Amino acid sequence: MMRMKTKPTAATFNGGCEPVAREWELRPGGMLVQKRHPDSDQITIPPAPTIRVKVKYGSIYHQININSQATFGELKKMLTGPTGLHHKDQKLIYKDKERDSNVFLDMVGVKDKSKMVLMEDPISQEKRLMEMRKNAKMEKASKSISEISFEVDRLAGQVSAYESIISKGGKVNEKDVVNLIELLMNQLLKLDGIMADGDVKLQRKMQVRRVQKYVETLDMLKIKNSMPDNNGGGEMEMQSQHKHTNGQRVAQIQERYYNQQQQQSSAADGVVVTTKWETFDSFPALVPVPSTSTSTANNSISPPKFPWEFFD
């Protein structure tokens, strides 16, 4: 498109005082028209006016200057400073009706010098406090898991060192292996005592599997370290001992965790339980033994006898 500038052909006056020069452009059809500027196509929208509303909270009136097209939620945030009330705990009443935080002021007829009432919402306050406690609990659990993970990383280095020595035919002190297993067990007990939900629960589960894997590795290394050779039937014997050790280890973890929970529950009630209960794997069946005595003349039947066991 070819454009050209010419001198003003007609005198236009700015306010009737001074002439203003115009720029012209030649259109493709040969028509000479006034040049358009990019800013001339933009529609200027005047800003919304600022209004002043009076909000009553208790016996005190607060005057707030706010945009007429703002929402009630924005007004609540502005009221947080002068009232000291969290914006989620506020309830604004306008024309005897509670207004939602997403509703615009001008949509419900709020104008300059309009009046409304601010009240405290106990239900929202309770929900917010419960959410804060839950978040604090999850944050504490996540922090505890991070600390346990850091300690497990340190112990994992020792597991790798022992595994490298024993796999090359070397020997390590069995007491050191046992102590390392106990340290890992303590971390496992700490993980069992953490209550969490969501992502934090998934993190705890991953750490539990990780610790269990290290314990199983140490059990195998312990058996391998105590054996003179690993040929022939020694491998089968090592696997059998490993299974037996795992069963004992799980039983120990369950017993420790149960005792820990029992002590915590007793401490909360103000009672300390020191009794160690003995459990029995199986009980003898109460099978009646037929009587050897014969029936008497009056056809009386003797009562059944049971093989009772007596414990000292």
Sketch the domain layout of the chain as residue ranges.
50-120, 127-226
pLDDT at res. 7: 46
Q: Please, are residues 184 and 162 in contact by the beta-carbon 8 Å criterion?
A: no
What is the maximum span of the chain, computed from C-alpha positions, in angstroms?
Answer: 151
Cα(145)–Cα(187) distance, integer angstroms = 10
The pair of structure tokens assigned to 300 is: 């009386």
The pair of structure tokens assigned to 110 is: 């709020």
C-alpha dihedral sign at 101, 107, 112, 114? negative
Cα(61)–Cα(11) distance, integer angstroms = 60
Contacts of 238 (CB under 8 A, 6+ apart): 220, 223, 224, 227, 230
CATH, domain 50-120, list 3.90.1150.10, 3.10.290.10, 3.10.20.90, 3.40.630.30: 3.10.20.90
pLDDT at res. 309: 60
For 127-226, which CATH class?
Answer: mainly alpha
Q: Please, are residues 84 and 24 in contact by the beta-carbon 8 Å criterion?
A: no
Contacts of 194 (CB under 8 A, 6+ apart): 141, 144, 145, 204
Q: What is the Cα 196 distance to its own chain's centre?
A: 7
* pLDDT lower than 70: segments of the chain: 1-22, 29-30, 36-45, 229-312
pTM: 0.47
* Residue 128 half-sphere exposure toward CB, CA atoms < 13 A: 12
pLDDT at res. 298: 47
Question: Secondary structure of the chain: what % helix, strand, coil (to 5)?
Answer: 50, 15, 40
Distances 162 to 38, 222, 242, 243, 249 between C-alpha atoms, Å: 77, 10, 17, 21, 20
pLDDT at res. 295: 43
Same CATH fold assignment for domains 50-120 and 127-226: no
Cα(293)–Cα(91) distance, integer angstroms = 88
Listed residue (152, 207, 209) closest to 180, CA to CA: 152
